[in-house]
Amino acid sequence: MKVTEHLQNASSTLFSFEVLPPMKGKTIQDLFRVMDPLMEFKPPFVDVTYHREEIVYKKRADGLVEKVPTRKRPGTVGICAAITAHYKIDAVPHLVCGGFTKEETEDAIFTLHYLGIQNFLLLRGDGLKSEPRFQPSDGGHHYASDLVAQVANMNRGRFLHEETATDAATDFCIGVAGYPEKHFEAPNMSTDLRYLKHKVDQGADYIVTQMFFDNKVYFDFVKRCREMGITVPIIPGLKPITAKPQISTLPPVFHLDIPDELVNAVSKAPDNKAAEKIGIEWAIQQSRELIEFGVPCVHYYSMSKAEPILAIARAVF
């Protein structure tokens, strides 16, 4: 079932979460051990992230240095198939621009279509660490809106090459990312919202936000989206603080602000366990307020750690 259908059919706010593919060398059972406790709350769908290749430089026997692409978390497609079969729920794979040509993207979309996957979260994705700014692969997409357009065209039976049968049209539900505190590359919030509206105009069916710690930021974001004519569902994404260093590490990585009250409380925590308890309680209060506001779903960034999300869900859902 499509994410939008789950949202339309729900009589109350839904619970969903995002998982990371296991590190290379792990097995699907490692992921199931994370997911099993959270199935208590009947998530209708689960997001599976995609991590593009990284470039490492290895010294060869002849003394020269060789550039080698490597992936630490492979297997998003297979993991989605396994989740769907094991839990009988919908998996939402993330698909990114970086590292793919348009042809490779089309092949990946058809593979997921064959597997019965009905949903995507489409992202530009991060650039390589060696690049000052994101650079698409040769023949790849530069912007998430272009990726949205490709999937939307495939839903209409329009493909890259004429030899593909027009009756092979896909029927994907398309999700995109929204940034309540602005994407870090956008010059201002108004510009970022225009980019977001362009993704919706290209065919996006719903929006999932980047994590935030102040609900006022989300409420204002939704208000401004509606004023711009963005009418699709906007799902808030939350992540609890689970360790003291995160009040310093999360803001530069995800380009967000953490309220003074939360920073001060976590800073005074004697250890990470106490900091996690504070973070969980903060996320519980955020969740309750968002549900009262009437959000269609609360989506949690688990970082493949079940216990904090489990504690929040037991208090809220």
pLDDT band at 136 (very low <50, low <70, confident <90, very high): confident
Q: Where in the chain are the domains?
A: 3-316
- pLDDT digit string (tens) for 276-296? 999 999 999 999 999 999 999
Using the predicted structure, report yes or no on whether residue 61 has a pLDDT greater than 70: no
- For residues 296 and 50, the model is more confident at 296
Please determine, for residue 119, whether its predicted confidence score (pLDDT) is greater than 70.
yes
Rounded distance between C-alpha atoms, residue 264 and residue 239, angstroms: 18
Q: Which residues pair with 46 in a beta bridge?
A: 17, 91
Answer yes or no: is pLDDT of 17 > 90: yes
Of 211, 242, 216, whose CA–CA distance to 304 is shortest? Answer: 242
* pLDDT attached to residue 31: 92
Supply the pLDDT for residue 69: 54
Its pTM stands at 0.91
Query: At 284, which amino acid appears?
Result: I
Distance of CA 157 to the CA centre of its chain: 26
- State mean pLDDT over 133-154: 89
* Beta pairing class for 206-209 and 173-178: parallel
**68 pLDDT more than 90:** no
Tell me which fold the domain 3-316 belongs to: TIM Barrel (3.20.20)
Number of Cα atoms under 13 Å in the Cβ half of residue 224: 19
Average pLDDT value over all residues in the chain: 91
Beta bridge partners of 92: 47
127's CB contacts (< 8 A; 6+ apart) are 98, 133, 134, 135
Range 221-236 burial, b when 16+ CB lie within 10 A, else e: bbebbeeeebebbbbb
Give the angle 35-38-44 at the CA atoms, nearest 5°: 90
Active-site positions?
18
Counting other chains too, the contacts that 253-259 makes at CB distance below 8 Å and 24 or more residues apart are 254/210, 254/211, 255/179, 255/181, 255/182, 255/183, 255/184, 256/181, 256/210, 256/211, 256/212, 256/213, 257/181, 257/213, 257/214, 257/217, 258/213, 259/213, 259/214
Phi, psi of 122 (to 5 degrees): -100, 125
Mean predicted confidence (pLDDT) in 244-252:
96
Specify the range with the lowest mean pLDDT, choosing from 57-71, 197-211, 272-286: 57-71
**Tokens representing residue 168 in the block:** 């092979």
